[in-house]
Copies of this chain bind each other. A is one copy, B any other.
């Protein structure tokens, strides 16, 4: 538990300094200025006091049994010994604000390891190194254990990021938008206390209503997924991952010490966990402001109230593009509005109350929207004309906002220097206000997106019990024991058979005669493929013969391969040639500790040219498999176009689930490509399969 870190009863600063512009001084200043509720202990062998607070020569001299949090602002090489000292004092958390650790190279990494070893020996947890620290604005705590400069205000948003720079950008943004934060943590090199731990802690903190996360790469991805899934189910997590491009990842690597890389698994993890994913940090912050004060809407239907036309058009576009609806008003609602609003007002959705509308008009429109069953959220677009009493309007909005279970966001078009009273009323009343119609609309879209996530039913992972795990595992073990990386075709098909994944009928033949009779059993036309542990790229060496229509053709093909290929274990895979149908691809790929990603696409140029594929993290439920089919651009081809018949989507969904179970059961599989499966109206069949195992180290 991180309670002693985020709710410290006492804080010491090793390296406390009397020099005004030093970090060792700033932390004390921040703690004092912010009104930290516990004692502060500057540690400095050469000073009697720092900022008027009594200083101690050593952490061991500090009064009392223990210190909850100790900042260390001393050169890296002195840190391990200082940690050992803290151990003696029973310190719980050490925040390493300074640099000179893993981020500077091997020498620093060795010091970092030394710190970790000493910390473990002494039961101490480390935040950092190379980090800003934490903030907790809880009035009972007021811990500004951090050397940054933004003045925190109490609020409901908690921030976590490895990067202190971005954490600070986000924190500052909330401050400028007049919204406070609850907690803040930037853990730098993150050698010990991790992002998932912090998120878990925020999840349990009652004062945290929304969690904002910035990452450049995900470590401990499996733990991250497990934790965030649990937390996101009870409170919104808004996240952004940077380093998405190759150069971006390179830039990230250069300041985090080579940890970041371009990977799509972050997006998949966010999706599976139910994290709201943002591509723009400003949009993330603006959305968080709405989450901080507003309830989650129950649906996608927006009621719009405006007192000027154009800006409402901009937001309408955004709602429509995001799939939000702007439903017509009920007759009863229209009648109510007609009785109250000006005759020229637009009695529809958006309601245009007109620029001349006053408090009564706005209130009537708000009440109608709150009362309408088919409205889930309210978007207010309010310009502040000099000829109306905007403060009275603001009071009505605040009153409705505080009584309402439907979220309200407001695009407030005003001169903040002149309409200070109106602005203050709305902000203090918890109405999220934005300066652009699009910005306000996107914040509302984010609320609705979270509702979609909260309501989604991904279902349970289905375990097929007709599978023969042991048989498949045996094949893999045999392959691994032989030191091979790739399974032969026969081995691959046997594994598919063990997991109930349908393939075109096949036989293994040792010679031409066996091949001929196998083909007769299967039925013509057939395909013959050379089968040998030593032949990897069959078609390159003439090891594939397609469309063989009779026994003689099969015999001739086998004899040609026998003459051409020099492999002691040469055998022949005879397989049913399947005409027509739609080529699709199902694949899987091990993704480090995360497990496997499962892939679906339509074969040929769609995958090659369009890169039109969908991924999910295994294990995949039926709902997720269905989403994969819908996610690709060429999805209409699955339904049938231009007279072509639709194909057996349920069959593909089952193959995806069975592949998911297979790679989850047998993590030794590095990569698996069923490419293609031939899909018909009433069935799908693998006609080529490739399975690679994780290379033994």
Q: Which residues of A contact B (CB under 8 A)?
A: 21-23, 26, 99, 104, 149-151, 161-169, 172-173, 175-176, 214, 216, 242-248, 250-252, 254-256, 260, 280-282, 285, 308-314, 316-317, 319-321, 326, 344, 346, 348, 350, 352, 383-388, 413-418, 435-439, 604-605, 608-610, 633-634, 636-637, 641-642
Chain B residues, Cβ within 8 Å of A175: 415
CB distance from A33 to the nearest CB of B (A): 12
Measured in the bound complex, the distance between the Cα atoms of B326 and A56 in whole Å is: 49
**Is there an interface contact between A244 and B166, defined as CB atoms closer than 8 Å?**
no
Expressed in whole angstroms, the minimum distance between the Cβ of A32 and any Cβ of chain B is: 15
CA–CA, A309 and B162, complex, Å: 10
The reply to whether B247 and A23 contact each other, CB–CB distance below 8 Å, is no
Cβ contact of A168, chosen from B413, B604, B636, cutoff 8 A: B413
Distance between A168 CB and nearest chain B CB, rounded to angstroms: 6
For this complex, 11 residue pairs linking A to B, each with C-beta atoms less than 8 Å apart, are: A168-B413, A172-B414, A244-B321, A245-B321, A251-B316, A254-B348, A255-B312, A255-B346, A282-B438, A605-B642, A609-B634
Could you tell me the distance between the alpha carbons of A281 and B440 in the complex, rounded to whole angstroms? Answer: 12
> Please, which residues of chain B bring their CB within 8 A of the CB of A605?
634, 636-637, 641-642
- Closest chain B residue to A247 by CB distance? B320
Chain B residues within 8 Å of A436, by CB: 169, 173, 281-282, 285
- Asked whether A247 lies within 8 Å of B326 as measured between CB atoms, the reply is yes
Distance of A168 Cα from B437 Cα, bound (Å): 12
Contact indicator A252/B641 (Cβ below 8 Å): no
Of B165, B243, B320, B435, which contacts A248 at CB under 8 A?
A: B320
Contacts of A260 in B (CB 8 A): 313
User: A161 to chain B: which residues have CB within 8 Å?
Assistant: 310
In the bound complex, how far is the Cα of B439 from the Cα of A173, in angstroms?
13
Residues of B within 8 A of A387 (CB): 21-23, 26
In the assembly, what is the distance between CA of A167 and CA of B149, in Å?
36
Sorted nearest first, the 9 A-B pairs with minimum C-beta distance are A163-B310, A255-B309, A165-B308, A245-B320, A248-B317, A166-B310, A21-B387, A165-B310, A251-B316
Given known contacts A216-B310, A609-B636, A636-B609, is B317 in contact with A352 (CB within 8 Å)?
Answer: no
Distance between Cα atoms of A627 and B281 in the complex (Å): 33
B416 and A313 contact, CB distance less than 8 A: no
Q: Give Cα A387–Cα B243 distance, bound, in whole angstroms.
A: 29
Contact B610 A633 (CB under 8 A): yes
Give the nearest-CB partner of A419 in chain B: B149
Do A346 and B254 touch (CB < 8 A)? yes
**Alpha-carbon separation in the docked complex, A124 to B230 (Å):** 70
Q: Taking CB as reference atom, which chain B residue is nearest A411?
A: B169
Separation in Å of the A609 CB from the closest CB of chain B?
Answer: 5
Q: How far is the CA of A436 from the CA of B285 in the complex (A)?
A: 10
A642: B residues at CB distance < 8 A: 604-605, 608
Contact: B641 with A149, CB < 8 Å? no
CB distance from A643 to the nearest CB of B (A): 11
A169-B311, A172-B435, A175-B415 known, 13 other contacts, Cβ within 8 Å:
A149-B386, A149-B414, A150-B415, A166-B310, A166-B437, A169-B437, A176-B416, A244-B321, A245-B321, A251-B350, A254-B309, A285-B436, A609-B634
CA distance A435 to B310 in the complex (A): 27
CA distance A608 to B636 in the complex (A): 10
Q: Which residues on the B side are within 8 Å of A388 (C-beta)?
A: 21
Which residues of B sit under 8 angstroms from A384, Cβ to Cβ? 149
